Amino acid sequence: MERHFETELRELKEMILAMGGRAEKAIEEATQALILREPERFERVYQIEKEINTDHIKVDEASIKLLARQSPLAADLRLVVAVIKINTDLERIGDQAVNISHNGKRYVAEPPIKPLIDIPRMAQEVCTMVREALDAFVQQDHELARRVLNRDDSVDALKNQIFRELLTFMIADPKTIERALNLILIARNLERIGDHATNIAEDVIYAVTGKDIRHGAHPNPSSSTN
Amino acid sequence: MERHFETELRELKEMILAMGGRAEKAIEEATQALILREPERFERVYQIEKEINTDHIKVDEASIKLLARQSPLAADLRLVVAVIKINTDLERIGDQAVNISHNGKRYVAEPPIKPLIDIPRMAQEVCTMVREALDAFVQQDHELARRVLNRDDSVDALKNQIFRELLTFMIADPKTIERALNLILIARNLERIGDHATNIAEDVIYAVTGKDIRHGAHPNPSSSTN
């Protein structure tokens, strides 16, 4: 029985949403493990990332099948191409959650150098970006997608602040260097997640409006610490 | 006049190759500017990156047009989907070359802390990865693509070595911390380029063989400094 394009597309959207939920969960678990200093919790991140990888292959297969069977055109075609791209970004968010876990494990193995305030805030901000970018995709809401782009600036500002503060710790006491470096790397992992959410939002805007806003209205990812 | 799928596909491949050439050039210019301490040379990188961004939009448009007009199936469809993904990776390689330039500019503005040996080697290695991954794509050579995956391990090893060496500099003399951090960030920018080349190689293997080797045979991007 031949099914309708809309049915298959709805299934694809549901797959992306479930995958996005897992990506958010991976970021949350990694951050909570770091904040609460619960090393065993990082293991959950590795488990969730495996599930994300399975999703990744399934979404790719389903998208290619849909293109082959339905040969969608115009807005429908742009939407399926957006799914293929969003899929890649979600998979890489999973990779970054794993990287946070590697760096986090090393950090919690030693005494803390400071209370973690900005990193949890940054993690929350990028989680919101991922959720809103996916909401924008499902609801085909390009205005919500644009708000995601604006959030990226505050993520960059937080990362620069974290970077500068940790630099003062390192210079004041070389014994903190390795630990401070782990936190700097975690801030960069979170920044990368923000970049992926930005990519998703840009793909949504293109899929919905047909307008390519990349490399134009929104500045490129380049701030003071790259 | 309706043109053949093969003609349009060949044009798409040529676009990707030209874009890949620019991506390589951007990495080379950024690295040379750093090694030769020629800050004005970083400006060329920004120029090349703009061209890459223009390529990015053009390749996306051409791919979507080709899907819409020709509705390719099976191996042909996988190939066009691979182009869409490779396009994204090449664009992000351009971003990383820009990031190297930002970090490099800061580094060359101060006296050097050590002769640069491993970073140029790492840059050469990732350039080779990008070139071979694109050769593998154009020649549809999945064995060459597999060799790219193996190279990624040596890039990771170089990055870890750079990281450890710079850590000893930072601990021995806090005055080197900021400069060492710039070099650590550059090593990570290069590592990300290696990751993008790996992604391209994996896409080639999938396009050519129909086999998804991601998340399986080749280990995930996760080594000792993430």
Among chain A residues, CA nearest to B183: A226
Domain presence at residue A215: no
**Tell me: the pLDDT tens digits for A34-58?**
999 999 999 999 999 999 999 999 9
Q: Which residue of A has its CA nearest to B53?
A: A215
Domain count for chain A, please give it.
1
A136 min Cα distance to partner chain B (Å): 21
Q: CA–CA separation, B160 vs A110, rounded Å?
A: 20
Does the residue A174 lie in any domain? yes
Percent of chain A residues topping a pLDDT of 90:
90
Q: Which residues on chain A are in Cβ contact (under 8 Å) with B177?
A: 167, 170-171, 177
Tens of pLDDT, residues B114-142: 999 999 999 999 999 999 999 999 999 99
Is the Cβ pair B188, A188 closer than 8 Å?
Answer: yes
Q: What is the pTM of this model?
A: 0.93
- B185: nearest CB among A53, A67, A226: A226
Given this model, what pLDDT does residue A183 score? 98
Position B154 confidence tier, pLDDT thresholds 50, 70, 90: very high
The reply to whether residue A99 touches residue B222, judged by beta carbons under 8 angstroms, is yes
Q: Do B225 and A185 touch (CB under 8 A)?
A: yes
Q: What pLDDT, on the 0 to 100 scale, is given for residue B225?
A: 55
Residue A117 lies in a domain: yes
Contact B102, B43 (CB under 8 A): no
Task: Give the gap in angstroms from C-alpha B193 to the nearest C-alpha of chain A.
Answer: 14
pLDDT of residue B226: 63
CA distances from B26 to A19, A34, B23, B58 (A): 34, 37, 5, 19
A221 has pLDDT over 80? no
Per-residue pLDDT at A199: 97
Question: What residue of B is the nearest CA neighbor of A95?
Answer: B221
Structural domain including B155 reads 5-209
Q: Report helix, strand or coil for A216.
A: coil
pLDDT single digits (tens) A108-153 = 999 999 999 999 999 999 999 999 999 999 999 999 999 999 999 9
> Does residue A13 fall inside a structural domain?
yes
| CATH code for the domain in which residue A86 is found | 1.20.58.220
ipTM summary value: 0.91
> Is B224 inside any structural domain?
no
Does residue B50 form part of some domain? yes
Could you tell me the pLDDT band of residue B213, with boundaries at 50, 70 and 90?
Answer: confident
**Token pair of B3, please?**
């043109």
Nearest partner of A63 among B141, B88, B133, B85, judged by Cα: B85
Whether residue B109 is contained in a domain is answered as yes
Q: Is residue B217 part of a domain?
A: no
**pLDDT tens figures, B9-31:** 999 999 999 999 999 999 999 99
